[in-house]
A and B are shown apart, each in its own frame.
Chain A
Amino acid sequence: MKPTESPLATAAKPGAGFGCILAFGLLFILSGLAVGWFFAVRPVLRATLSLNWEPVPCEILSSRLDEKRDSDGSTYRVEIHYRYVYQGRRYVGERYDFGTGYTNIGVGSMRDAVRSYRPGSQQTCRVDPARPDEAVLSLRPPPGIWLGLLFGLLFPAAGAGVIWSGYRARRQARAEALTPLAAAFSADTPTVAGGAPETPAVGEVVIKPASGRLAPAIALGLFATAWNTGIGFFLFNILRDFDGGIAWFFVLFQIPFVLVGLLLLFIATVTISQVFAPRMELRLDPSLVRLGARVPFRWRFDRGGITALQIHLEGREEATYRQGTSTATDRREFHRAPLLELIDRLALAEGRAEFTLPVEGAAPTLAGKNNRVVWQLVAKATLPWRPSLVENFPLTVLGPPRLAPGPADAVPVAHRGGGLTLWVPPAFAPGETLVGNVARDPGAPAGPLTLRLGWFTEGRGTRDAGVVWTRKLPDLAPGADLGFEVPLPAAPWTFGGALVSVEWRLEVLDPAGAPLVAAPVVIAPGGVAVVLQPLAPAIGPARWKQRLGLGR
């Protein structure tokens, strides 16, 4: 990389227009509520209120099944007329039930109603005492009510989900807009930016799993229900009117959709069953989670039913690559240590254990937007008659409390460019102080300068970068030089893995922000860049088990 190109200047602000998402979600909610009100709640409400209406004898004048045909098929309603006398006055009623009009749901029961209410027969209707011209024959809920109820629940749930995800995306975009990288450019004081985890407070806490169970179960359950309701509705209509001929085509056409529906039902059932599976609570002291440290932890299941338990510690690199409109994330493990394997039901319900984080070939947690070093405890619980339950508990791993110092005899190296000479030792340990010197050549033009220290990623992922320190030099005269000291952060370390590398760089910028000279520096224990040796990736069935979260 040329000194005049700076990898530290990257920025991204993803997110979607929340106003549009809100409007879209509200549209879904309102549509669902409207459907639910008109086709479910209102008929039930009216039928319930009519229970207080007065039963009155009536005579059926006419009854038939009225059919309405259009390009989508036929819909029906019970067309009925009946005569009744209330408080000495004659009325003619036309309402059979509190249904909303023509429908193709419950046609069989409509036919039965027409048969039951033959013209000339004596029946009982219910009359509204307040408005005697209002009467009804049947108090049964109309047949379409369940569909109305289903849509009335599904659409608002989907709308609320859309709004919630949009709200979360906006909140995340706002948080990212406040990246310390931007603050570091305007501030004259050292600023820690990105990548370095904060030191946690001392004390045992509950570690939350990486993903919850309820949200995917609800989402999958709703989706599977909506899919199968729609497919079932179409299938029912096709089979009801099936008479061979061209209809075979429609029956065959439905087969793949039905198969997808069955698969969705299976996956949704498994996911929902996981909601009711025993929950594992994992406790440890995050301040102890440091490379090279032994970390005790406790676990407990909130109920029984587990027949076997395996826990292992995993460290891996993750790199997300965005080019054009596509996004891909790759993962590669560099550390894996089995911790325990239990089949004694009493022993696995709760217990204590410990793990030791490696000190060689490992790096602290890196939480870049596109590049990450992830540490986690993975618990796999075996349940009878159900798929195994796999939960990941992410850990924020810090560097060791005592690090090998950087090379004591490191000689500053001169880096020249843009009429400047930058003297910097090449390697340091995290937390040490970088002492350097910048000199302007006697013949070089004067002008303000900025010193900047930052890290950036190389490798498979789209680049992440962070600036941890800047200092403005408004008046470095030609022929003059200036010493400076930079307290180095504890992380990220200089490391190289299969997918992600982190490198550090000290730059001197011109007033336009273009680097005039740059010096690479290593910031790692002992001043030697760490190597993350990748483990062999899973292949064949093991790879698919891994992808489906079914363990190794």
Chain B
Amino acid sequence: METTFGSGPVNSAGANPFRTSRLLALPVHWGETTPETLLARWHAAGRRGALVGPHGTGKTTRLRALAARLAAEGWTILWIQWHDDGTAKPADWRAALRAAGPRTVLCLDGSENLGPLTAYRLLHYTRRAGGLLATRHRRAWTLKTLAVHRPSAEVFVAHATALSADAADSARAAFKAAHGNAHEAFRRLYLDRASSTRV
């Protein structure tokens, strides 16, 4: 049931088609590199590898989907995320990493935010873990690249039109203006919609 504002339903933040909860519920677009391919490459690389690509190309979304598949296969998933504002989740991630056993897969999102020394020591911390899957903006010599993700206007427009059928043109424009960063492009679409429709 939709909350009613004033005299009837209106387009508020809770009804904006590009609101966060809907973005997070979008299906994963795998393209040519299916999850089976990625996991096969990961196993072949000694269960250590990275998804590489710039901001807003779906690395975190794919990592989350791969983590769900591995959890379904019986692996214990330990999710650690480093944000670009210097924070990390969980805060005691070092202790969590050290405690990881042979049935634990470490999903490390945003590991490029670590300093070089910590990134190197990460390999030492994680040697007992069953596997390691990471996202990075650039290739790393310490971790095999499983796939390189690039911005795709077609995929972005498909996602945007899934959220709002009339958004194809504005989605193309937003994607171009955001230089292929889907986060920023969705932000633009949200704010455009919030500005164009009175709440």
Chain A interface (Cβ < 8 Å from any Cβ of B): 1, 7, 12-17, 20, 169-170, 173, 317, 319, 321-328, 330, 332, 457-463, 494-501, 503, 520, 522, 528-534, 536-537
Contacts and interface: CB of A to CB of B under 8 A. Distances in A.
Interface in B28-48: none
A529 B183 contact: no
B13 interface: yes
Contacts of B20: 321, 323, 458-463
Interface of B: 1, 3-6, 10, 12-16, 19-21, 23-24, 55-56, 59-60, 81-94, 109-110, 112-113, 118, 135, 183-184, 187, 190-191, 194-195, 198-199
21 contacts: A1-B21, A13-B91, A15-B88, A16-B91, A17-B93, A319-B13, A323-B24, A325-B82, A326-B55, A327-B84, A459-B20, A494-B3, A496-B199, A498-B199, A503-B3, A503-B14, A520-B3, A529-B5, A530-B5, A531-B199, A534-B195
Given A327-B83, A496-B13, A501-B12, 17 more contacts: A13-B89, A14-B83, A16-B87, A169-B87, A322-B83, A323-B23, A324-B110, A326-B84, A326-B183, A458-B21, A459-B12, A462-B20, A496-B12, A496-B15, A499-B13, A503-B3, A534-B199
A537 B187 CA distance: 15
Contacts of B109: 324-325
A325 B15 contact: no
B118 A522 contact: no
A16 B88 contact: yes
B3 A529 contact: yes
Nearest to A165: B86
A322 B60 CA distance: 11
A457 B24 CA distance: 14
Given A15-B87, A462-B20, A496-B15, A528 B6 contact: yes
Most B-side CB within 10 Å, residue of A12, A13, A498, A533: A498
Given A324-B183, A325-B84, A459 B13 contact: yes
Contacts of B16: 459-460
B187 A15 contact: no
Contact of B88 (A1, A7, A14, A497): A14
Contacts of A12: 89
Contacts of B93: 17
Given A327-B85, A498-B199, A458 B60 contact: no
Nearest to A521: B3
Contacts of A495: 5
Most A-side CB within 10 Å, residue of B3, B84, B89: B3
A286 to B, nearest CB: 28
Most B-side CB within 10 Å, residue of A461, A501, A522, A537: A501
Closest 3 CB pairs of A and B: A496-B12, A459-B13, A15-B91
Nearest to A16: B88
A411 to B, nearest CB: 15
A390 to B, nearest CB: 24
Most B-side CB within 10 Å, residue of A17, A458, A495: A458
Contacts of A497: 12-13, 199
B92 A498 contact: no
A496 B89 contact: no
B187 A328 contact: yes
A323 B60 contact: yes
A282 to B, nearest CB: 30
Nearest to B110: A325
Nearest to A415: B1
A124 B155 CA distance: 84
Contacts of B87: 14-16, 169
A16 B23 CA distance: 28
Contact of B10 (A169, A173, A325, A496): A496
Nearest to B58: A324
Nearest to B13: A459
A501 B13 contact: yes
Contacts of B88: 14-17
Given A16-B87, A332-B194, A529-B3, A460 B13 contact: yes
Contacts of A17: 88, 91-94
Nearest to A3: B1
Given A460-B187, A532-B199, A498 B89 contact: no
Contacts of A16: 86-88, 91
B21 A7 contact: yes
A530 B194 CA distance: 16
